[in-house]
Amino acid sequence: MDSQKKCPICGKPAIEAFKPFCSKRCADVDLNRWLTGSYVIPARDDEPVSDNDNTVPDYNEDDNI
Ligand SMILES: [Zn+2]
């Protein structure tokens, strides 16, 4: 009865559609880890990440009128 795997990113029960992850978000996080080769991108979950991620993309800069 251990068919229920846990998400390697956040530890929540994995969902069939996103195996072995629990959500697309975690799947993206894992993918980004591979792409960047590091843990630069933190796993965003319901819990706020303190002191770690204040970077909000500045879309304005690219969209100057
Ligand atoms: Zn997860």
How many domains, in total, are found in the chain?
1
Between the CA of 43 and the centroid of ligand 1 the distance, in Å, is 8
* Cα 3 to Cα 41: distance, rounded to the nearest angstrom: 29
Strand, coil or helix: 32: helix
Between the CA of 19 and the centroid of ligand 1 the distance, in Å, is 10
Between the CA of 12 and the centroid of ligand 1 the distance, in Å, is 5
In this structure, is residue 53 part of a structural domain?
Answer: no
In this structure, is residue 37 part of a structural domain?
Answer: yes
In this structure, is residue 27 part of a structural domain?
Answer: yes
Q: Domain containing 13: what range?
A: 1-41
pLDDT string in tens for the chain (65-residue length): 556 799 999 999 999 999 999 999 999 999 988 888 755 556 666 666 566 556 666 666 666 66
pTM exceeds 0.95, yes or no: no
* Cα 3 to Cα 26: distance, rounded to the nearest angstrom: 19
In this structure, is residue 47 part of a structural domain?
Answer: no
In this structure, is residue 61 part of a structural domain?
Answer: no
Between the CA of 20 and the centroid of ligand 1 the distance, in Å, is 9
Among candidate residues 51, 7, 13, 54, the one with its CA nearest the CA of residue 30: 7
Residue 24: CATH number of its domain = 3.30.50.10
